[in-house]
Amino acid sequence: MTDFKKWLLKNLDLKLLALIMSAILWFYFSSEYNISDEKYYDIEIRPINLSKTLSIKEIRDKVSVGIKGPKNTLENISTQKMVGTVDLEGIQRAGEYQLGIHLDVPKNTEIIKIIPDEVFLEIEEIIEKEYGVEYNLIGLPQKGYSLKDEPKIVPEEVTIVGPSSILDQIGHVRIDIDISSIREDINKEEEVFVYTNNNDLIQGVNVEPEIVSVYVQVDEGYPEKLLPVKPRIVGKPAPGYFISKIEANPSSLEIYGNYSKILGLDFLETIPIDVTGISKTLTVRIPPIASEGVSFVEGEQALIEVKIEVEETEEEKVFEGMMIELRETSPFLDYQLNPEKVDVKVAGKYHFIADLKREHIHVFVNLSNIETEKLKVEVELPSEIHLVELIPEEITISMKK
């Protein structure tokens, strides 16, 4: 007992200091661990259990989550390891949905708020559709050689699987075939690409098959093609005239050239023919236009005779409130007309109608033999003009002595 007492009292001041320091450290760490705090984090959203027949068209990627817990725990939370999930297991068809978010948080913490607490989703169907494979030729065969026929593609159609909104954007499905400097038949494989109508590459779809076989046949010389001639007209005829007929002689020409050059040609244009202000038949002799790499077969005419016929337009004109003349009247009677005026619609060639005036038109009723109160209105017109409509066609007449 004496030895223990001596040991206890030995260096008592140092032992008390150590005890006090231990107590201070314990209280510090204990209080730091138990201080409660709140903090908000931007948490990534991840959809789960989506049916393979559906696709997400729209969903927000993050939400703000408020978490309450010990301060030191909140400071050590990694947003990379925390993911909010949206369970789509119960969704079986396309549509718009509002769904809650599930989030697992660290021990001794709790969620105080999620902003927003639900997320909006737009779900669409995964569909499949068949498309014909088009091709784009790159380069030209070696000089003196040309494609014998269109490239043969196997298979000619592919199946594309993807969200309906993406498939709606598809303009064409195409492969690129490089035929630069070839002089013999080639058999190769090419990757299929999907494009919009604006030739923007579309991704996010599955193409089956992704690779197709291509067979290209090559011959010496160049193929020929017979094409119709299409005169190119610019300008407009004189006012009141229109083009009624266009004739080209010869009406077609035979050309030859590299297959890839003549493949897309459906007609040959002439140089522009200006018809501005014409009012009669115009005949001209002009050359056709051949694009680079296309030539005319020997013996074809270098000039095309083009005959352009014009006709005068038929015009209508309305004269309103034309006074009715009385003809073959009796000096012993007073006549009353109802109505006293009519509207006259006439038609004729443009220049006749343009020159026609009210004084050239005579509207009248004949009173030589009145047997009824209703009389038919008559009209005298220049020979080049014909009547279209008279409103009204009959009038009522009353007489007094």
Angle at CA 301, nearest 5°, toward 299 and 304? 165
Task: Return d(Cα 226, Cα 252) in angstroms, integer.
Answer: 7
Asked which of 35-39, 198-202, 326-330 is least confident by mean pLDDT, the reply is 35-39
State mean pLDDT over 63-85.
Answer: 83
Is residue 102 within 8 Å of 89, Cβ to Cβ?
no
How many contiguous H segments (helices) and E segments (strands) does the chain have? Answer: 6, 34
- The owner of tokens 């510090």 is 28
| Range of weakest confidence among 108-112, 194-198, 344-348 | 108-112
Question: Does pLDDT of 93 surpass 80?
Answer: yes
Task: Output 370 or 131, whichever has higher pLDDT.
Answer: 131
DSSP helix/strand/coil, 374:
strand
- pLDDT, residue 301, reads 61
Per-range mean pLDDT, top range of 34-38, 138-142, 159-163: 159-163
Encode 130-147: b = buried (16+ Cβ within 10 Å), e = exposed.
ebebebebeebbeeebbb
Contact 114, 103 (CB under 8 A): yes
Sequence-ordered alpha helix ranges (H) in 53-204: 71-75, 164-167
pLDDT tens digits, one per residue of 1-45? 556 556 555 566 666 666 667 666 655 555 555 577 888 888 888
Question: How is residue 377 written in tokens?
Answer: 């209105």
Taking the C-alpha atoms of residue 27 and residue 108, their distance in angstroms, rounded to an integer, is 20
Say if residues 225 and 149 touch (Cβ distance below 8 Å).
Answer: no
277-290 pLDDT per residue, tens: 999 999 999 999 88
- pLDDT tier at 140, thresholds 50, 70, 90: confident
How far is 322 from 346, CA to CA, in rounded Å? 13
Longest dimension (CA), the chain: 171
303, 271 contact by CB (below 8 A): no
Report which residue type is found at 241.
Y
pLDDT of res. 34:
58
Per-residue pLDDT for 110 more than 80? yes
Asked if 310 and 242 count as a contact pair (C-beta separation under 8 A), the reply is yes
Helices within 35-109 (DSSP H only): 71-75
Residue 292 has pLDDT above 80, yes or no: no
Kindly indicate the confidence band of residue 225, based on its pLDDT and cuts at 50, 70 and 90.
confident
Strands 294-296 and 325-327 turn out to be unpaired
pLDDT score of 129 more than 70: yes
User: Tell me, what's the pLDDT at 300?
Assistant: 59
Cα–Cα distance, 150 to 263 (Å, whole number): 8
pLDDT in tens, 350-381: 999 999 999 999 999 988 877 677 889 999 99
The pLDDT of residue 393: 92
* pLDDT confidence tier of residue 273, bands split at 50, 70 and 90: very high
Better-scored residue on pLDDT, 250 or 19: 250
